[in-house]
Structure 1
Amino acid sequence: MGNQMKLSGNGSAGRRVSRLPTSRIFQGHQVEAKKGGPMRRMLWFLAAVIGLAFLGGCSSYRTVVAAENEPPGQIRASRAHTRNGIRFYERGHYRKAIHQFELAIAEDRSNWEAHYYLAECYRALREYDPCLRHYHIVLELRSEPAWVARVEYKIGWVHEGRGKYKDARLHYERALAAAPGYEPAKRAKARLGSKKYKDRGTRMTGAAAAKARKKTINRVF
């Protein structure tokens, strides 16, 4: 028969179809099963190992990034209370804001923003002792010149409102030492240098002094 065979069936009697050897189909590129099988299995095994290693590396990387970017639970809670407090502060609900800022500090004592807004709330309520205490904490937590100037100026403003002009001048000067171009402190220092303020600090007492301080409080901010 050679490489030919007969086909049987209706209408196929006597027909012959040549069958080429399998080795000729690929024209010299045949890979025999017995020789190529082990090699293919080896390649598949290596590919699987490399794939698993790659996936494992990606999973580890994602885990590390999430851990670095996601703050601890207490810090997240502190920030949430701070945001709530700012909303109350902006609406003028200072007592509610104070409560939220105190909760924020209970979760994270280094939350400088909560301390700052606590001071602002107490300033608005004219409760100056806790106001000054929280301003000073902000100075301990934020050392950038811009923030030092801002907070020192506000401390000076509180002292000025209480009639303590010498202390006020000291803090205005500290604000200018941190940021020489800080305009609010420059204007405040110039204001304290006027004759009117000198007279107020030495001669005014009692109800007149209290009235003058009230006018100063309403005018400075």
Structure 2
Amino acid sequence: MKGYKFLKSELVDSTIRGRIRLASLAYYRAMEGPQWIADRNDGVDTAILEKFTHRRTNPEAAFHRRKLSSAMGIKIEGNADNINFAGTVRTETTAPPCHIYCFSLEPFDSARKAMCEDAPQEYRYDACVEIADIDWFCRCVSNGKIDGLPLSNLMAELYHRDVSYEKKVHRFESSEPFSVDPFSKHNQFRYQQEYRLLFLPRKPLPDHVFVDFLVPPGLLQRKSLS
């Protein structure tokens, strides 16, 4: 499966030679300007609790306690019972610190139009690097280095998949367990056709880090926008 990294033309050569920049989700949340590359809700999920009573005798009491803690940040201690939530509680939970690298999936023409023509003026790109095979690319990056150190020394895990554009509001009363999905974005971003590499750092890192990796012949090449 192919991918397309849209970028500024001055970055094409360094990318093809095997140097890419990872950025933290916190960086994109804090960016100012139009919500396009900036996304104040990237890696943030919302949960809503309405008119709920916690009872120890409820067969699902243990599940409710765990969900109150993970989704709402509410801890019920000891033998507390008959706790009534009469109004509405709305919370936002942020994914653990992580860094990402993003590009677009096929079809190329619609991705090019979104990233180079329809994007806000300050976010439009004028060049593209074609990734011949995404899995191959991910393996090469995972064997790369950051500041001369093996990437695996600084990053505990690498996950990658396409982004879904179904940002959910989690209802407490639903039977689904609550977890923040850093591969989910609001529907307004769907035209980006994003595929995402997500790295979990072993320790705090700067918002931007550069990965250098070996590029085998045929993996990366400049793609014409015309």
Q: TM-score range by the shorter chain?
A: under 0.3
Looking at secondary structure, tell me which structure has more helix per residue: 1
> Greater strand share, 1 or 2?
2
What TM-score do the two structures reach when normalised by structure 1? 0.20
Q: Please, what TM-score do these two structures have when normalized by structure 2? A: 0.19
Structure with the larger RCO, 1 or 2 (CA within 8 Å, 6+ apart): 2
Q: Which has the larger radius of gyration?
A: 1
